[in-house]
Chain A
């Protein structure tokens, strides 16, 4: 493939993206599954498409793989138009949700499949297959039928099968969702290590926000066929742009209130802000609220008195539900501290109340 010879598009500069999704929309009949999506992926990046089921994240993946055609918009890879190519001519490979291993072929033949159909030199195939199997530690299962493997092992074969083709971009469609919790954690670690080692760009689809946080360089949160926010895990958690993002990633308290003359008022809570008057919504993470044992607060803090309504013990931490008065309930996460009851003083830093869009 000609594009393989060109390391990066020379004209566009060194930081030109590997993949550009330009204003892509997709309709199935009357249903608009993707609405005007634009996103870039840099070479070597691990980008995660995070969203609820039905949000359109898998459709975007299928558009990039070539199983669907965009209704409008374009997809470019390495400065070449991608969306007009049939799937077998794209230097993109996919790890499918249920692996889609060919049941009638052995593990070795599954991995060799891509090389064979593309007419790779016969002498080269065995060594490349072995290399790929070694990379995922599956060498000893080369002769087995996929149906005899465990879920985790099938997962590794699917990875090897996709990677043996040396794609420029690897698409992973909820690859870990069929595994149980422990195996999942382990595979997450291996996947991340593998990606660093081989340096291939990963586009990963998941509905699991913890998984997205653990793996990604950047997260693209998809909601109802549109991008809600694209940012690094730390950024997206610390500075959610919208109420939806704040609630989808981690837990939060949404405080609805009003700004009048540079004072924000949400129920009994009041603090100074430098923003124009009007209705406002803040996200306040439960762990940013602390107990205020001595009753004193710093100037940049907000103090309030609340009644503990419920306390849920979570091992290393406690989750409280605190009534700050007027029936306003706030979730507070504290380090494990033993049973609490009655009226207590709490504080949080004004900087931790993040203004979000509705």
Chain B
């Protein structure tokens, strides 16, 4: 196939694209670089490199407490939103009930509405119910808001799986319950992992909803947020660099999983007559 025109070189466009990449990555590079700068954030050039800020960070107990809190919240949010999101996706895919269209929109609302609105609405519910603000309210908030992500991802996964798989299972004598565990869930494995990772990162990073639902114990983003008010230190650069590294690690893991399955699919396609 001739592809002269689409791949013809266009140096101007390439330069522009390089500049956009620079815009995206320079701030991150600066952030990482200054986490090693002895003389603090700002000042140019950063001449004296050191690991002191990381040492200080590892000795900083409030930060690690908040990391633990964030992990707890994110873990709970993943469990909660995956469970409800899976059911919601199944319901949207297979059941018909009054108000289904409204339900679909409602579930997705937290994804498109500003976090402040969802956060404040949930705050009103908490106040109404007489609950105390705590990590639990944050978990409920994250879990509820992120059902949207779980539902979208798992619904897409369901749409891609072959309905005949489940029919075959029932046909071979499996009950609907057996079919769910042996066929439906394994078929959704990839979507579940993808949704789980995404929800985990989003929850670890969430501020807007958390802002209004937090009690005495901080999550990591809110701990950092609190410190920003007091001034900037490279210790925050150091923790940001670590968050960045963990995010990239998660993407790489996710990619490995996905590539493996894509590889299998490709092989399947190649060998089909």
Contacts and interface: CB of A to CB of B under 8 A. Distances in A.
B182 to A, nearest CB: 7
Interface residues of B, number: 27
A117 B178 contact: yes
A102 B168 contact: yes
A104 B187 contact: yes
Contacts of A179: 273
B172 A165 contact: yes
A86 interface: yes
Given A98-B164, A104-B186, A147 B172 contact: no
B44 to A, nearest CB: 56
Contact of A117 (B164, B174, B267): B174
Contacts of B170: 66-67, 86-88
Contacts, number: 90
B173 A117 contact: yes
A117 B273 CA distance: 32
Q: Which of A86, A117, A151, A179 has the most CB of B within 10 A?
A: A117
Contacts of B164: 96-98, 100
Nearest to B183: A102
B61 interface: no
B187 A113 contact: no
Contact of B268 (A66, A89, A97, A147): A147
Contact of A98 (B162, B172, B176, B268): B162
A292 B167 CA distance: 58
Interface size on A, as a range, is 35 or more
A161 B273 contact: no
B69 interface: no
A93 B167 contact: no
Contact of A100 (B167, B174, B182): B167
Contacts of B189: 104
A97 B173 CA distance: 19
Contact of A147 (B162, B176, B182, B267): B267
Interface string A168-191: 000000000001100100000000
A24 interface: no
B165 interface: yes
B267 A148 contact: yes
Interface of B: 162, 164-165, 167-176, 178-179, 182-183, 186-187, 189, 264-265, 267-268, 271-273
25 contacts: A67-B171, A88-B172, A88-B174, A88-B179, A89-B173, A92-B171, A93-B171, A94-B168, A96-B167, A97-B164, A100-B162, A100-B165, A102-B183, A103-B187, A103-B268, A104-B187, A118-B173, A118-B174, A147-B267, A147-B268, A148-B267, A161-B172, A165-B172, A179-B273, A183-B273
